[in-house]
Amino acid sequence: MSAPAAPAVFLPADELARLELALQQGPSLALQAQLAWALRQSAGARAQGLAEQVEQGLAASGWPLPAQTAWRARMRLVRAELALQAMDFEVARTLLDEALGGLQAQQDEIGCADAHHLAASLAADLGEVQRVHDQLGLAIACARRAGDGERLLFLQAQLGRADAFRDLSTARQTWAVLLGLDIEGLSPVVAAAVADLRGLVAGMATEFSPAIAAMTRAFELSLQTGQLRRAIALASNLGRAYWGMSEFQAAMEWLTRGLTLAREAGWPASMALCMAQAGETLRRLGRRDEARAQLQDCLRMLGAQPASRTAALALKYLAHTEQDDGRTEPALQAFDALMQRAVHADANDLKIDAQLGRARALLALGRHAEARSAAEAALQLAHGQLETTVDLLWILGEVTLAETGSPQQALQCYEQALSRAADAEGFVPPPQLLEAAAHAHAQAGDFPKAYELSQRAGALRQRRFSEEAGQRSLALHTHHQIERARAESEHLRQLAESEAARFQALRGTHEVLLHLSEVGRELTAELETDRVLAVLERHVHALIEVDSMAVYLLDEGGTQLYCAFGMEDGQTFVDPPIALDDARSYSARCVREGRELILRMSELPREHYQVPGTSAMQAMMFAPLRVGERVIGVITVQSLHLPAYGERETLAFRSLSAYAAIALDNARAYRRLSDLQRHVMAQEKLAALGSMVAGVAHELNTPIGNSLLLASTLLGGAREFNARLTQGALRRSDWQRFADQHVQGLEVIERSMDAAAALVRSFKQVAVDRSAEQRRAFALAQVCEQCAQTMGLALRRAGLRLSLQVPAELRMDGYPGEVGQVLLILINNAMAHAFEGRENGQIELGAQALSPDRLALWVADNGQGMSAALQERIFEPFFTTKFGQGGSGLGLSICHNIVETLLGGRIRVSSEPGQGSRFTLELPLQAP
> Which range is least confidently modeled, 157-161, 685-689, 827-831?
685-689
Q: How confident is the model at residue 135 (pLDDT cuts 50, 70, 90)?
A: very high
Q: How confident is the model at residue 156 (pLDDT cuts 50, 70, 90)?
A: very high
What is the spatial distance between Cα 371 and Cα 498, in angstroms, rounded to a whole number?
63
Phi, psi dihedral angles at 83 (to 5 degrees): -65, -40
DSSP letter at 769 equals H
By C-alpha distance, which of 239, 222, 240 is closest to 231? 222
Average per-residue pLDDT for the chain: 81
User: Which of 85-99, 489-503, 562-576, 671-685 reaches the highest mean pLDDT?
Assistant: 85-99
575 contacts: CB under 8 Å, gap ≥ 6:
550, 552, 563, 566, 611
SS3 content of the chain, % helix, strand, coil (to 5): 70, 10, 20
> How much is the pLDDT for 676?
63
What is the spatial distance between Cα 256 and Cα 775, in angstroms, rounded to a whole number?
91
Is 792:855 a contact under the CB 8 Å cutoff? no
Q: Once rounded to an integer, what is the mean pLDDT over residues 695-718?
A: 72
Is 656:540 a contact under the CB 8 Å cutoff? yes
> Is the pLDDT assigned to residue 14 strictly greater than 80?
yes
Is 379:396 a contact under the CB 8 Å cutoff? yes
> Is the pLDDT assigned to residue 821 strictly greater than 70?
yes
| Residue range 221-266, pLDDT digits in tens | 999 999 999 999 898 889 888 877 777 778 878 888 888 888 888 8
Q: Once rounded to an integer, what is the mean pLDDT over residues 155-166?
A: 91
- State the DSSP string of 494-558: HHHHHHHHHHHHHHHHHHHHHHHHHHHHHHHH--SHHHHHHHHHHHHHHHS--SEEEEEEE-TTS
Q: Once rounded to an integer, what is the mean pLDDT over residues 332-359?
A: 82
Q: Once rounded to an integer, what is the mean pLDDT over residues 898-912?
A: 89
| Residue range 736-787, pLDDT digits in tens | 877 777 777 777 777 777 666 655 655 554 444 444 457 889 999 999 998 8
User: Computed over its alpha carbons, how large is the radius of gyration of the chain?
Assistant: 51
> Is the pLDDT assigned to residue 483 strictly greater than 70?
no
Q: Once rounded to an integer, what is the mean pLDDT over residues 849-877?
A: 88
Task: Cite the DSSP H helix spans in 799-838.
Answer: 816-833
| Residue range 283-301, pLDDT digits in tens | 877 888 888 888 888 888 8
> How much is the pLDDT for 190?
94
Q: Once rounded to an integer, what is the mean pLDDT over residues 877-882?
A: 69
> Is the pLDDT assigned to residue 611 strictly greater than 70?
no
> How much is the pLDDT for 919?
94
> How much is the pLDDT for 479?
47
Q: How confident is the model at residue 152 (pLDDT cuts 50, 70, 90)?
A: very high
> How much is the pLDDT for 74?
93
Burial class of 472 by CB neighbour count within 10 A (0 to 12, 13 to 18, 19+) = middle
What is the spatial distance between Cα 126 and Cα 308, in angstroms, rounded to a whole number?
5
Phi, psi dihedral angles at 584 (to 5 degrees): -85, -20
882 contacts: CB under 8 Å, gap ≥ 6:
832, 833
> How much is the pLDDT for 771?
43
> How much is the pLDDT for 475?
45
What is the spatial distance between Cα 227 and Cα 219, in angstroms, rounded to a whole number?
9
Neighbouring CB atoms inside 10 A of 60's CB total: 9
> How much is the pLDDT for 693?
59
By C-alpha distance, which of 822, 842, 825, 845 is closest to 834? 842
3-state secondary structure of 598: strand
Strand-pair partners of 600: 619
- To the question of pTM greater than 0.85 for the whole model, the response is no
SS (H, E, C) 1-65: CCCCCCCCCCCCHHHHHHHHHHHHCCCCHHHHHHHHHHCCCCCHHHHHHHHHHHHHHCCCCCCCH
3-state secondary structure of 118: helix
Neighbouring CB atoms inside 10 A of 404's CB total: 12
> Is the pLDDT assigned to residue 614 strictly greater than 80?
no
> How much is the pLDDT for 231?
92
> How much is the pLDDT for 474?
46
Q: Left if phi > 0, otherwise alpha if psi is -120 to 50, otherwise beta: which for 65?
A: alpha
